[in-house]
Structure 1
Amino acid sequence: MLAPVPRPPGSLAVRCSRALLSPRSRLSLLALLLLTAATLVVLYEPQRMFTSGWPPHTSGAGAVLLFGLAYGVCAAAFVPRPVLNLAAGALFGSAAGLTGALAGTVLGAGIAFTLGRFLGQDALRPFVRGRWLTAADGQLSRHGFRSMLAIRLFPGVPFAAANYCAAVSRMGYVPFLLATALGSLPNTAAYVVAGAQAGSPGSPAFLFSSGFIVLSGLGGAVVAWRKRHRLRAAVPAAGAEREPVLK
């Protein structure tokens, strides 16, 4: 009778660690984190702490810094950015409010991008199939900065969706964060000014910022429509190039 072959020490731990760090396990962890964040937002509505005058015991640069940090966490947890931007203007005014809101926007995008890149990319990359997903992934991977800049300038794609799509693609951190900062500036400024001038709805600043918000939304719809048709035309052309020539 043959004696059982002894297993090397630590083999069970190695297998367990590999299972826990596998792409599917990391994707499951990401899904759990996102579900938990969405549930907390629905149950506790953290945006209320901004509209009610948070933070109550701080002022000046410290308050703006705390606001930016809290903004980033809330934005990554699916709190609507327009609400946060309006609150930034109402709490701190146009200049300081824009500083806190823009810093929070970049922080929230960075958090989501990091989570998507390290927890979801390896598991989701094999599913990037079909003409729409392939075309979108190619656009973000090859022309990441200008694609993300257009997405941020013309808000048609939800903030969280853009973050995680970019994370699954091969876009780099620097182009993503830089495009987010530059592209989010005009729309964020419009909401912040609207929040700062909410007490004077007839003021030129409020009317201008409100008009810009409406026009940017319409512009985003037009850009999304044109982009869709360009992708539809580009994908069959790319497929035709890959087909072998029969002689």
Structure 2
Amino acid sequence: MLAPVPRPPGSLAVRCSRALLSPRSRLSMLALLLLSAAALVVLYEPQRLLASGWPPQTSGAGAVLLFGLAYGVCTAAFVPRPVLNLAAGALFGSAAGLTAAIAGTVLGAGIAFTLGRLLGQDALRPMVRGRWLTAADGQLSRHGFRSMLAIRLFPGVPFAAANYCAAVSRMGYVPFLVATGLGSVPNTAAYVVAGAQAGEPGSPAFLFSAGFIVLSGLAAAVVAWRKRHGLRAPAPVTAPEPESELEPETAVGAGR
């Protein structure tokens, strides 16, 4: 009777680890993590805690730092940034609120970018097909800084979607984070100032910030409508060129 061939030690553990670390498994982990974060936001509404339930004993630079950390985590968990920006202005004023909001924005974008890069890129990159997806991926990969800067300046692009699209591309960390910090300043400042001046809705600062928010939103809607209309428009059909008529001498020769 033949003796069974002994398996090398740890072979089962190696196979299990490979299965758990495969691109599809990591993508499933990312989807589960994002769904859990979204469910927690719906159930507990952490934005209300940041806006109205902030501990009164925290103040100064420590409070701004703590708020920025909480802002980043909440942003990565799909809490709307406008609500957080208004809360930052209402709690800390324009200058300190803007500092906390921009720091939290960069932190939240970095968290989402890291999760997308580690857990989703290997599984999603083979799915980047088609003319529009390929063009977007090439733009983000080759011109990361200016592309992300334009996306952050444009208020119509969802924050989380931009983070994960950038993570799937080959954009580097530094261009992504620097462009996020710089491009988020105008729109973030408008919301922070509006939150800081919410008690005086007739003040010039509040009116200016509210006007900027409305105008930027309208501009984003117009650009999005034009892009959508352009995508729906059928491609122009070019008529085939008419065949050149035979010259009289050639026609005579052909009739012979």
How far the C-alpha of 1:222 sits from its partner, in A, is: 4.3
User: CA deviation digits over 1:207-228, x for unaligned, max 9?
Assistant: 1001111122233334445666
How far the C-alpha of 1:135 sits from its partner, in A, is: 1.4
CA separation of 1:180/1:241 partners in 2, compared to 1, >3 Å: closer, same or farther?
Answer: farther
> What's the counterpart of residue 203 of structure 2?
203
**What SS does the aligned partner of 2:157 have?**
coil
Residues 194, 209 of structure 1: 8 Å contact kept: yes
Q: Which moved more, 1:2-11 or 1:228-237?
A: 228-237
**What SS does the aligned partner of 2:4 have?**
coil
RMSD of Structure 2 on Structure 1 (CA)? 6.9
How far the C-alpha of 1:130 sits from its partner, in A, is: 1.5
User: CA deviation digits over 1:65-110, x for unaligned, max 9?
Assistant: 0000000000000000000000000000000000000000000000
**Structure 1 unaligned regions, length at least 5:** 243-247
> What's the counterpart of residue 183 of structure 1?
183
In 2, Cα distance between equivalents of 1:226 and 1:2? 75
CA separation of 1:240/1:124 partners in 2, compared to 1, >3 Å: closer, same or farther?
Answer: farther
In 1, Cα distance between equivalents of 2:107 and 2:254? 41
Q: Which has the larger radius of gyration?
A: 2
How far the C-alpha of 1:22 sits from its partner, in A, is: 0.6
How far the C-alpha of 1:163 sits from its partner, in A, is: 0.3
CA separation of 1:240/1:194 partners in 2, compared to 1, >3 Å: closer, same or farther?
Answer: farther
Q: Which moved more, 1:47-56 or 1:182-191?
A: 47-56
CA separation of 1:171/1:49 partners in 2, compared to 1, >3 Å: closer, same or farther?
Answer: same
Residues 41, 79 of structure 1: 8 Å contact kept: yes
**What SS does the aligned partner of 2:2 have?**
coil
**What SS does the aligned partner of 1:223 have?**
helix
CA separation of 1:136/1:115 partners in 2, compared to 1, >3 Å: closer, same or farther?
Answer: same
How far the C-alpha of 1:56 sits from its partner, in A, is: 2.3
CA separation of 1:228/1:240 partners in 2, compared to 1, >3 Å: closer, same or farther?
Answer: farther
**Structure 2 unaligned regions, length at least 5:** 237-250
Q: Which moved more, 1:50-59 or 1:27-36?
A: 50-59
How far the C-alpha of 1:131 sits from its partner, in A, is: 1.7
In 2, Cα distance between equivalents of 1:53 and 1:39? 20
CA separation of 1:235/1:129 partners in 2, compared to 1, >3 Å: closer, same or farther?
Answer: farther
CA separation of 1:134/1:202 partners in 2, compared to 1, >3 Å: closer, same or farther?
Answer: same
How far the C-alpha of 1:235 sits from its partner, in A, is: 12
> What's the counterpart of residue 145 of structure 2?
145
> What's the counterpart of residue 127 of structure 1?
127
Q: Percent identity among equivalent residues?
A: 90
> What's the counterpart of residue 111 of structure 1?
111
Query: Could you state the TM-score of these two structures normalised by the residue count of structure 1?
Result: 0.90
How far the C-alpha of 1:50 sits from its partner, in A, is: 1.6
How far the C-alpha of 1:188 sits from its partner, in A, is: 0.3
> What's the counterpart of residue 247 of structure 2?
none
Equivalent pairs counted in the alignment come to: 242
